[in-house]
Amino acid sequence: MTNSPTIWINAGETSGDLHGQLLVRALRDMRPDARFVGMAGPAMRDEGVEPLLATESLSVMGFTEVLAQLPRILGLLRTIRERMEALRPDVIVVIDAPDFHFRVVKIAKSLGIPVVYYISPKLWAWREGRADFLRRHVDRLVCILPFEIDFYARHGMTVDYVGHPLLDSIRTAAILSTPQAPRRIGILPGSRRREITGLLPIFSRAADLLAGRFPDLEFVLPVAPGMDRALITDNWRSELPVTLVDSSGRYELMRSCRAIMAASGTATLETALLETPTAVAYTFSRLTYLLGRLLVKAPYMSLPNLILDAPVFPEFLQRGAEPAALADAVSRWIPDSPERGRILAQLASLPALLGNGGAAGRAAEIVLNTMRRPS
């Protein structure tokens, strides 16, 4: 191409913003003249993406939560259409977040702009019938989980499997050489307000129980950009101190922990790649949970368990997310127990299953090959 391309990238949540940052970095190495615009969070903005919209404006999850935000979401979609019509980017990249991005995809296709869906939506968990939408509206579907290849093949689709981009940012020599603090417990309550208010009180009461068994424990919590520190301290219900740490050294901090209590989400794959045993928890609104039980087909909630097809990380959902249960799980990993050794052995196989690195570069090549060619 002779003209400098405009690449629109849309991230609808924090994890997508981090994946977008890595993708932009790889794209810029290949096309330093490219202009990057779209819906960006802090990580993508730091990478030089022009934030026509902010990822933080779409921080919702679940059936009922999305319905409550519907008027604002419709306003964002109107803005996206207006900006796309004005800019006419060479390609649109949407990252995960299907409830929002399926609508963005339809806008792009109506304008004749090619679409790359990066980090394919988790249709294998629920709403499998939406695969037909992707077949008709998406030019390239990029997957980062190995079992997705067979899933989409059953729907008559050929997808691009690139491996998982987290390997390049996590599995570095510097991070993996971080010394472990044998009495440090990490707390990862999620980044959304509802996650923090729902899980942090549970985690803090579990911390009390753990401290009763191991009096010399310390508790640390990395604070992501945009997280409300006051909200965190208000929901830490223990008299024990929790140290709030800036997230710039998040992976080193998580690697240094003996064990972690975490909200289900991308963070659990991060802790797995860092080889830190993790107790996974999540709570939902009652309606979301009831609908999920009817519709969700996946056998596990957390990504490490899905990829390894085994309950490596114990999961505590809804009423099962109790302080005593979490404390009991974590307490078995503080000593050098056989159970701890078993988990670490299972986690060691993850990098090979996830492509051994280079995913963002492979995805960037797909994006560039999908751009409109000049007429």
Give me the residue label for tokens 């090619």: 114
| CA distance between the termini of the chain | 10
Instruction: Look at residues 19, 16, 12, 29 and name the one whose alpha carbon lies nearest to residue 368.
Output: 29
The predicted-structure confidence for 275-334, as pLDDT tens digits, reads as follows 999 999 988 766 665 555 555 666 788 999 999 999 999 999 988 999 999 999 999 999
Cβ-Cβ contacts under 8 Å for 288 (sequence gap 6 or more):
62, 63, 64, 65
Whether 185 and 344 have beta carbons less than 8 Å apart is answered as no
Of 19-33, 141-155, 332-346, the poorest mean pLDDT is in 141-155
The least confident of 12-26, 70-84, 226-240, 287-301 is: 287-301
Q: What is the pLDDT of residues 117-173, one digit of tens each?
A: 999 887 776 677 788 999 999 999 999 999 899 989 988 888 999 999 989 989 999
Residue 59 has pLDDT above 80, yes or no: no
- Whether 181 shows a pLDDT value over 60: the answer reads yes
- pLDDT, residue 375, reads 46
Structure tokens at 187: 């707390």
Tokens of 292: 């999920």
Q: Average pLDDT for residues 97-124, to the nearest whole number?
A: 91
Q: What is the pTM of this model?
A: 0.80
Q: Which conformational region is residue 101 in: left (phi greater than 0), alpha (psi within -120 to 50 degrees), or beta?
A: alpha
